[in-house]
Amino acid sequence: MRTRLVLAWTSALTAALAVATTAGPVSAAPAGRTAVTPTTARCPQLSDDLPWYGDNRARLQRVIDERGTCHGRGGPRPVAAFDWDNTITKNDVTDATISWSLRHDKILRPASWKDTSKWLTGTADKALTDACGTEVKVGAPLPTSTNARCADEILQIREDGHTMSGEAAFAGTWNHRRTVPQYAWVPQLFAGHTVPELRAYTEAARAEALAAPVGATRTVGTHVLPAYVRYYEQQRDLVRTLQKAGFDVWIVSAGSEPVTEVWSRGIGIDRAHTVAIRSVLDRKGRITTSNEGCGGVGVTKGEAIPYIDGKRCWINQEIFGIKGRAAWHQQASHRRIALGGGDADTDVTFVGDATGAHLVLNRNKNEVMCRAYDNADGRWVVNPMFIEPLPRRTTAYPCSTAAYTEPDGTLAPVRRGDGSVVPDQQDTAY
């Protein structure tokens, strides 16, 4: 029987965490299913004190004015959905939790590393076993704070799906628009822990990352990692303004759900409005290596996570109540989000589904930037990252040849809805 991962928040965070957190507005009720009371009040305004690129603030404000309940027309609440890592925050919060956990010996030794992922190769299993050893009892913490080889293998597989020797860590068949094994592997690494334990590790990592100076790095094993995370103030203001204007605001992330929920609370989004990779719990409430599925896909080892087309599926299923295979397909406009925001190809499908504005933070990711710069419907809003933006990409995005990832993992041209090929695009918002 499927078990949905449920978190129970503690009544207060630590003093350091409380200092780092700015209280957010009360989260909206579940998505858009309840009629709202019309109002003739002026729509809430985005802050003039926070800089946006070009006329992006005005374009987003136009969507708020047109779609918010402040326009004076009743009806279902409009929905906005955002990715989390590098969209709402600068840097990846799941990676911050992994970093903290490795430095505090919180990864438990599995009976077999092959058990952690259905796609893990024999080569990766051997590399992890050799690096992490077998001296520690199964289920006991690995000494990753002192064993640099073990920490390195875990980080390298998480980072790019390869071992430290450069061998593929995952092999087999999966739908490349529904999952990626190294993303699904992250919550599987925490198998054996309870949700409150993972939440506590995340809270400690969050306090540490918010206190670190912008630009700070940290060495774990031999990997040099970002040591800091920041909420983007522009995105915090956007979420707050959307909520005040009557939007139902959601987070849809390809990270671990307990981790994302700890962070989303800091901008006034509760766990009921936070969707990420959901681990199945055992009878004792411990995280397992199985994950919940979407769109008719049941419990698996990670075959249908919120990733590329999977994010559309989870939005359709969790927000709009669309069940079964239909959740994989684009819906009619009245059953789609009004505003979507992301930063990477993993976000391209759901951001493209938005009917009002497609907000993209430029991290030079091929498919999403091809669609954003092509701007086929005139509603794409491209903004450089608000902290440490990337320099201009000097070569064109290969939209006409190899920017679209097919389900089998091969690369193909990016096509518009009418089937025409998107021409190569130059980087212009940086």
Output 73-77 pairs: Cβ under 8 A, ≥24 positions apart.
73/38, 74/35, 74/36, 74/37, 74/38, 75/35, 75/36, 76/32, 76/33, 76/34, 76/35, 76/36, 76/334, 77/28, 77/29, 77/31, 77/32, 77/33, 77/34, 77/36, 77/246, 77/247, 77/248
Q: What is the pLDDT of residues 153-210, one digit of tens each?
A: 999 999 999 999 999 999 999 999 999 999 999 999 999 999 999 999 999 999 999 9
Quickly count helices (H) and strands (E) in the chain. Answer: 12, 16
Residues in CB range of 350: below 8 A, 6 or more apart: 81, 252, 311, 312, 315, 337, 340, 342
Model confidence at 106, pLDDT cuts 50, 70, 90, reads very high
3-state secondary structure of 202: helix
Residues in CB range of 292: below 8 A, 6 or more apart: 2, 4, 5, 278, 279, 280, 299
Phi, psi of 158 (to 5 degrees): -65, -40
Residues in CB range of 173: below 8 A, 6 or more apart: none
**In the prediction, which pLDDT does 6 show?**
36
Q: Cβ–Cβ contacts within 10 Å for residue 168, how many? A: 14
pLDDT value at 7 more than 90: no
Q: What is the pLDDT of residues 321-355, one digit of tens each?
A: 999 999 999 999 999 999 999 999 999 999 999 99
How far apart CA 199 and CA 93 sit, in angstroms, is 12
Q: Evaluate whether 357 touches 242 at the Cβ level (below 8 Å).
A: no
Q: CB-based burial of residue 172 (10 Å sphere; 0-12 exposed, 13-18 middle, 19+ buried)? A: exposed
Query: What residue type is assigned to position 249 of the chain?
Result: V
**In the prediction, which pLDDT does 73 show?**
67
Q: What is the pLDDT of residues 254-311, one digit of tens each?
A: 999 999 999 999 999 999 999 999 999 999 999 999 999 999 999 999 999 999 999 9
Q: What is the DSSP letter of 425?
A: B
Q: Cβ–Cβ contacts within 10 Å for residue 340, how many? A: 31
Q: What is the pLDDT of residues 60-72, one digit of tens each?
A: 999 999 999 987 7
CATH code 3.40.50.1000 region(s) in the chain: 15-91+230-412
How far apart CA 151 and CA 132 sit, in angstroms, is 8
How far apart CA 146 and CA 127 sit, in angstroms, is 17
Phi, psi of 382 (to 5 degrees): -105, 130
Measure Cα distances from 10 to 73, 104, 193, 196 in Å: 39, 22, 17, 9
How far apart CA 71 and CA 374 sit, in angstroms, is 30
Q: What is the mean pLDDT of residues 228-236?
A: 98
Q: Cβ–Cβ contacts within 10 Å for residue 81, how many? A: 31
What are the DSSP E strand ranges found in 350-422?
A: 357-362, 380-384, 404-405, 411-412
Opening angle at CA 326, ends 324 and 332, nearest 5: 145
* Best CA proximity match to 83, nearest among 429, 271, 351: 351
The dihedral over CA atoms of 163, 293, 118, 183, expressed in degrees to the nearest 10, equals 0
The dihedral over CA atoms of 412, 417, 423, 429, expressed in degrees to the nearest 10, equals -110
How far apart CA 92 and CA 113 sit, in angstroms, is 24
Model confidence at 246, pLDDT cuts 50, 70, 90, reads very high
Rounded to 10°, the helix 93-103/257-264 angle is 110
Among 39-48, 79-88, 93-102, where is mean pLDDT lowest? 39-48
Q: CB-based burial of residue 369 (10 Å sphere; 0-12 exposed, 13-18 middle, 19+ buried)? A: buried
Per CATH, domain 15-91+230-412 is 3.40.50.2300: no
